[in-house]
Amino acid sequence: MMMAAVKLGSLPPAALGGVTVTKKCERSSGGVRVVGECGSGGNGFPSFLPKQVEKIKDPFARNLARRIKRLPVQIECSDSFIMSSCVQPLIQRDANPVVLLHCFDSSCLEWRRAYPLLEESGLEAWAIDVLGWGFSDLGRLPPCNVASKRYHLYQLWNSYIKRPVVLVGPSLGAAVAIDFAVNYPEAVKKLVLINPSVYAEGTGNLAKLPRVVAYAGVSLLKTFPLRLYANLLAFNGISLSRSLDWTNVGRLHCHMPWWKDATVNFMVSGGYNVVSQIKQVKQKTLLICGENDRIVSNQLAMRLLFELPKARMQRVPDSGHLPHVEKPRRVVKLIADFAQSN
């Protein structure tokens, strides 16, 4: 598997210590030198992506997949580095960057339709794969519990971004964002929470399952019929052909060799329980809610609106659980206006 270092501005020298660079590509964009892992698979896709990426038809997903890179990120209590997948901005801006998280068991490809629009709006955007999901190199599997996910995100921020960000979290990604903002307030300027799923008390009884049962359940989670059903719930009346293709996009990371172990690890760890942290959030927060969300009740969004100290809400008509996929222009305008406001 090809390893590489990616540089935007500066790369921590220590990060190169445990990384073997077998291939680099360089280009200049807006005065910023970018050194990183090139797409060397079929059709310019990075070689570390599962071969099933070739079957995806969505041009936005294919284009964003070609931009996925891996950055070395130090893991807790170790000198080792995880090659961590993300989409990195081409140009560094003076304004606060926007960092895009994703839903439970998803990847940065969730931002395939919104990411180009964020760049067009002049924002510096990072689409980051949360530890244990996405396309990182987890051959030596680290813990994938909440604390590890939080620390990994902090280390990536501290190594490459180094400025307060507008942190965007959809669905369970909202819980990831709240947990991060409360624990590392210096790293987060503002929060954007999209159809937030923040009131579940972790993984509940799933954390108590015997390992063999947990692995059976995770195997079911990967299946195409279950993922297709989830897509039909998540989106507001898309065609069957598009739903089939978007199902392939949504489960692409499930073909990573470590995915099953990482998912079980997260599940038995107890998952996210951020209910007690909500009132500790100090940052200004924008809630974005699809009017036709069939997965997270709008009543829970209203509850969150009143419990967050500095929050306001915007609704997206004719949209389900993932408005940043269904209505990217509307969502990007909301994010951009909020990010650029005082």
Q: Is 79 a catalytic residue?
A: no
CA distance 46 to 115: 18
Q: Which of 50, 70, 51, 53 is nearest to 62 (CA)?
A: 53
Residues in CB range of 341: below 8 A, 6 or more apart: none
Q: Are strands 25-29 and 32-36 parallel, antiparallel or unpaired?
A: antiparallel
In the residue annotation, 261 being an active-site residue is answered as no
Residue type, 170: P
Distance CA 18, CA 107 (A): 25
**Cα–Cα distance, 84 to 68 (Å, whole number):** 10
Query: Pairing state of beta strands 98-100 and 165-170?
Result: parallel
Could you say which of 137, 179, 245, 293 is catalytic? 293
User: Shortest CA distance to 237 belongs to which of 196, 294, 172?
Assistant: 294
Give catalytic status of residue 293 as yes or no.
Answer: yes
**Catalytic entry in 106, 107, 171, 269:** 171
Instruction: Note whether 142 and 148 are within 8 A (CB).
Output: yes
Helix/strand/coil percent split, the chain, to 5: 45, 15, 40
- Residues forming the active site: 171, 293, 321
